[in-house]
Amino acid sequence: MTLSLNIKDRVGQAKALYEEAIRLVEEGTDPDAAQKARGLMDEAEQLKESVIQAQDVLDVAAERIGEMDALAGRQVPGSRKFADLGEFLHAIWQAENPRNTKGPDPRLVYFDEEKAGGHEAKDMSGNVGEDGGYLIPVEQRTELMSVSPEDAIVRPRAQIIRMTRRQIDIPVLDQSGTTASKPHWFGGLQFYWQEEGAEKTESDPKFKAVTLTARELIGYTRAPNALVDDAAISLNDFFSGPMGFAGGVAWMEDDAFLTGTGVGQPLGVLNSPCIVSVARTAKAGHVTYTDLARMRAAFLATGGSGVWVINQGLMDEIITLNGPAGNPSYVWAPNAATGLPGTLLGLPVFWTEKTPAPGSAGDVLLANFPFYLVGDRQATTIDSTQYDQWKYNKTSWRVVHRVDGQPWLAQPLTLKDGSTQISPFVRLSGKST
């Protein structure tokens, strides 16, 4: 409570400082008004930053309380953790059963994104809330989100950002406006070789912000009540199997991380302003060794983390592609080990249907996914309703997964020559005519 009140006081102080600075400038009677106003603004900005930091503390604390409640069953005497996802889902089903007179399982935690704290008791009306659901406990969430690299291409290789609130800003240096005379990767940061005792030159860094906003990925299905009532293990398999929620989330996330528009969904790398496009040399949508070599030359590779993401329809063409002097060994190298991809020009290849069709821009992508940010709102929820059980004898289930993603860079990087651009994301252009 003390921290919350302190935040309100700081907000009030910052507002008063802003108003005083505006008054000084508007009156125009003080010759030092501009300097004084600048000082007041700086002080207000410091207060603003302290408010943001304090609010982050409160947000983290609120979320941790919810997680501990879910993990420890609200510490109710005699309670225990849910054994598996099936038991958790069965508890939700019982909680939403109109015939249930015992009340919800005390281990269940209801989450409502629209509420300040995020956690409140569920109104047992039997209706699914507009934006809420039962918070998936830590163990079961890990179970649902544990996807292998073969199931998900981007998430296992991206930078995962824990979102303590619906929207967060990630600072990034602005690389725009670089020239050969300025350092080419570090935005406004300036570096100099300098003689001992010479006057130091300060840098004026330019910053931008990458904003992650938790998008809602909603999964909806129905399950027969007999399945729910008689066998919790069946529910476990139904939701966590490769054809259930876990597999569906992995597919939908990956698709958006690659091709998303950024409108109501993540911004995929193929639609990012930082991507570099390499012109296709072959006609009719084919791929040549020259195309791949040019893509490799425009690629920002760090730590050997690059991978190829290629439409599966191009597999036969890629694996039979010849290099210089007709030598295929320069291009494709198969891997006989189970689960390990073959390599193309020394980097792993992942075949997928999620890229554009063969011949379209982006059917071949070269990516360094640690430069992609995935924002995880640790509030994946599941809710159910049996409102239609009299007609169908089924339970409707809704899963809300909150996540966002976008590249860390706002534009390609400019090399020392001031003109050559490279990027952690390089795509092949559409077919030439």
Compute CA distances 313 → 206, 287, 319, 425, whole Å.
Answer: 43, 12, 12, 21
Count the alpha carbons within 13 Å of 145 in the hemisphere toward its beta carbon. Answer: 21
C-alpha separations of 386 from 112, 247, 391 in Å: 20, 25, 10
Q: Which residue in the block uniquely carries the two structure tokens 């830590």?
A: 138
The three-state secondary structure class of 405 is strand
Break the chain into its structural domains and give their ranges: 2-73, 91-102+136-166+214-433, 167-211
Residue segments in the chain with a per-residue pLDDT below the cut of 70 = 1-8, 18, 25, 51-80, 113-131, 142-151, 173-192, 197-198, 200-207, 227-234, 236-238, 240-244, 303-304, 328-329, 339, 387-392, 432-433
Distance, CA of 386 to CA of 394 (rounded, Å): 7
Q: Which two tokens stand for residue 311?
A: 């439409």
Scored b (16 or more CB within 10 A) or e, 194-226 reads eeeeeeeeeeeeeebebebbbbebebeeebebe
pLDDT in tens, 215-250: 999 888 777 777 666 655 567 666 766 666 777 888
Alpha helices, H only, 133-212: 138-145
Pairing of strands 347-352, 307-311: parallel
The H-assigned helical ranges of 335-382 are none
Contact 280, 430 (CB under 8 A): yes
Model pTM score: 0.72
Q: Which two tokens stand for residue 388?
A: 């239609």
- State the burial class of residue 151 (Cβ atoms within 10 Å of its Cβ: 0-12, 13-18, 19+): middle
Model pLDDT for residues 80-129, shown as the tens digit of each residue: 688 777 788 888 888 877 777 777 888 888 887 665 343 333 433 333 44
